[in-house]
């Protein structure tokens, strides 16, 4: 017996839709701490801008330099993309830093993978603070080379719907930490 192609397409689309519906139903049953943390981070979707402070300071980042952060929810709500750059610089990855960080829930863990301009990919796991205002990420492991150092720690502090703070710790060669503090306000 031969099944018409249009009927086969309808069946496949129906099965896919059913699969997504079951996935959505499972999500709504019981939220894990990882899912609660992820949902909190997703409220930061939008474009943000604010001053960057480095400790210790560096010559190539002047005091008062503005950072721009773009965050967007993608993959049917299963991932959050975080893109960082100096405000006013073009999106030209061959000339300017433009690291990308992905957030997602992996089983019962909130996971961050930072695609660094240093050419590596540190992975971290995050938890929501008891007061629900901070999501803090601790280093798990690293893919790629480490000759230029790697991102090691991150904290997102949510002040309100138009203001949040990001604190990132980068481990320089020789395990010397460099701390970046960004006080960000929503620009859209």
Q: How many domains does the chain have?
A: 2
Determine whether 100 is exposed, middle or buried from the number of CB atoms within 10 Å of its CB (0-12, 13-18, 19+): middle
Q: 53 lies in which domain range?
A: 32-186
Cα–Cα distance between 92 and 150 in angstroms, integer? Answer: 22
22 lies in the same domain as 44: no
Domain with residue 58: its CATH number is 2.40.128.20
169 lies in the same domain as 99: yes
CB 73 within 8 A of CB 79: yes
Q: Bridge partners of 66?
A: 51
106 lies in the same domain as 166: yes
DSSP classification of residue 146: -
4 lies in the same domain as 95: no
Name the pTM for this structure. 0.81
Residue 155: partners with Cβ closer than 8 Å, 6 or more residues away: 134, 135, 136, 137, 165, 166, 167
pLDDT of residue 57: 72
Residue 96: partners with Cβ closer than 8 Å, 6 or more residues away: 85, 86, 89, 90
Render pLDDT for 120-175 as a digit per residue (tens, 0 to 9): 999 999 999 999 999 999 999 999 999 999 999 999 999 999 999 999 999 999 99
49 lies in the same domain as 140: yes
Render pLDDT for 55-107 as a digit per residue (tens, 0 to 9): 877 666 676 789 999 999 999 999 999 999 888 776 766 666 779 999 999 99
């Amino acid at each position: 017996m031969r099944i018409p192609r249009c009927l086969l397409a309808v069946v496949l689309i129906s099965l896919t839709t059913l699969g997504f519906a079951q996935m959505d139903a499972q999500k709504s049953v019981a939220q894990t701490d990882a899912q609660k943390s992820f949902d909190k981070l997703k409220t930061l979707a939008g474009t943000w801008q604010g001053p960057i402070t480095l400790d210790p300071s560096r010559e190539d980042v002047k005091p008062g330099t503005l950072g721009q952060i773009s965050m967007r929810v993608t993959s049917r709500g299963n991932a959050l993309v975080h893109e960082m750059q100096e405000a006013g610089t073009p999106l030209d990855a061959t000339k300017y830093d433009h690291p990308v960080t992905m957030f997602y829930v992996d089983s019962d863990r909130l996971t961050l993978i930072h695609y660094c301009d240093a050419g590596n990919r540190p992975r971290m796991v995050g938890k929501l603070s008891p007061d629900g205002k901070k999501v803090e990420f601790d280093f798990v492991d690293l893919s790629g080379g480490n000759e230029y150092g790697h991102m090691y720690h991150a904290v997102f502090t949510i002040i309100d719907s138009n203001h949040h703070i990001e604190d990132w710790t980068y481990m320089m060669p020789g395990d010397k930490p460099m701390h970046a503090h960004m006080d960000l306000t929503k620009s859209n």
